[in-house]
Amino acid sequence: MLENRISRALFKRAKEYIPGGVNSPVRAFKAVGGDPLFIQKASGAYLYDEDGNRFIDYINSWGPMILGHGNGLIEEAVSAAIKNSLSFGAPTKKEVEIAELITEMVPSVDKIRMVNSGTEATMSAIRVARGVTGKDKIIKFEGCYHGHGDSFLIAAGSGAVTMGTPDSPGVTQGTAGDTLLAPFNDPDTVKDLVAANEGQIACIILEPVAGNMGCVPPEPGFLEGLREMCDKHGIILIFDEVMTGFRLARGGAQERYGVVPDLTTLGKIIGGGMPVGAYGGKKEIMDYVSPEGPVYQAGTLSGNPVAMSAGYAILSYLNDHNEVYDQIEDTTNKIVRGISSNLKQLNLNYTINQVGSMFSLFFSPEKITDFNLAKRCDTEKFGAYFKLMLDQGIYLAPSQFEALFVSSAIGEAEIEKTIRANYASLKSLI
């Protein structure tokens, strides 16, 4: 059994002063049971907790550590930036440089505005879409997570003309009434929503590859169909690439799938592990943002020089070393093949979804293409599997409904250990 005496004591202390003992809900391990581990440090492919346990990391800070932890290039950039002060509240050269670099790398982005989180980016993007179109309603997809903004915490209504309802106390019915929901990979429902709300929809927002119901890729033609529908009806298409941006390809999922949105939200990798977000898109849309245009959005720490330096370092490296994407996809392929082989040997009919360096093992025999199918997974069995893997030194996301992320620091030894641990864990569940 895993030794976690210090982590347990820290969690007990934390619950006295922090709601639920954590600063983001999934960290509490409620979905898998037990107490969370408190991490002390990380290096390369590994995390080390306060009890001295070492784990191969498949969360990678929920995506941004694409080169692994403690990367020297990023650390040097941060160290150099800190010497000049932590923040100015004024423009810096590094903001210009990273903006130029992102517009070079991401197909849809002519101009970009830096913010401080993915949530702030998505909230701002839909405000811009509403400001540009003069329309109020948005369409989002069940299971796609866009942060904790009020417009996104909405449960489904009962039909195309039935508005959503608040999914969290504190979200008003008025806000919920402007959010329409469709199942992911279901273009027919989107068509029905557009028809039933003709001339009222400002934007459609989605993760082009969902990462918050587990890894769920778009079905062939789904993204292309949304692009065509938006063009036909004057709707702004927003890709939330906070997870997928600079991870699935140099230019994100939009490069990988060849579908260009009107607006893109970014985060995670563009800060190299520092808190950051951004939204960008076509010049004619972004010119609506203050002070150029009338749509107001501001942030005291936006474009923080330390975060911009970290982001510029990692993006410059990825821009110059496209082979990283081949490497991490090859690594992920090997892991997925190993897990698939284990499932076959053990006669277990579970499902694996993978896109590039993102993947999920679903405890379900069904092909997972939307949130309703994901919810049919055996979450109790996943919780048991999670603990068994943790005991063997493999740190997975503590939820069936979260994607896993592979870094370039994971090598053959880590691949082999992961596959062996997977086999032993699955065998224990039979």
Catalytic residues: 145, 240, 268
Say how far residue 108 (Cα) sits from the centre of its chain.
Answer: 19
272: buried, middle or exposed (CB in 10 Å: 19+, 13-18, 0-12)? buried
CB 144 within 8 A of CB 240: yes
Q: Under 8 Å CB-to-CB from 244, ≥6 apart: which residues?
A: 207, 208, 209, 211, 252, 253, 358
Question: Assign residue 36 a region: left if phi > 0, alpha if psi is -120 to 50, beta otherwise?
Answer: beta
Query: What's the Cα-to-Cα distance from 166 to each of 176, 200, 201, rounded to whole Å?
Result: 6, 20, 19
State the Cα–Cα distance between residues 353 and 215, nearest whole angstrom: 6
DSSP 90: S
State the Cα–Cα distance between residues 352 and 367, nearest whole angstrom: 8
Question: What tokens does 225 get?
Answer: 């169909």
Q: What's the angle, vertex CA 197, arms to CA 195 and CA 202, rounded to 5?
A: 110
DSSP 84: T
State the Cα–Cα distance between residues 61 and 253, nearest whole angstrom: 19
State the Cα–Cα distance between residues 119 and 98, nearest whole angstrom: 20
Question: What tokens does 319 get?
Answer: 């821009």
Q: Answer positive or negative: Cα dihedral of 303, 309, 310, 312.
A: positive
Helix axes 412-429, 323-345, angle to 10 degrees: 30
Question: Half-sphere exposure of 337 toward its Cβ, with a 13 Å CA cutoff?
Answer: 8
Q: Answer positive or negative: Cα dihedral of 406, 411, 417, 422.
A: positive
Instruction: Give the phi and the psi of residue 51 in degrees, each rounded to 5.
Output: -90, 0
Question: What tokens does 208 get?
Answer: 């082009």
Query: DSSP E strands: which ranges in 268-350?
Result: 277-281
State the Cα–Cα distance between residues 242 and 147, nearest whole angstrom: 10
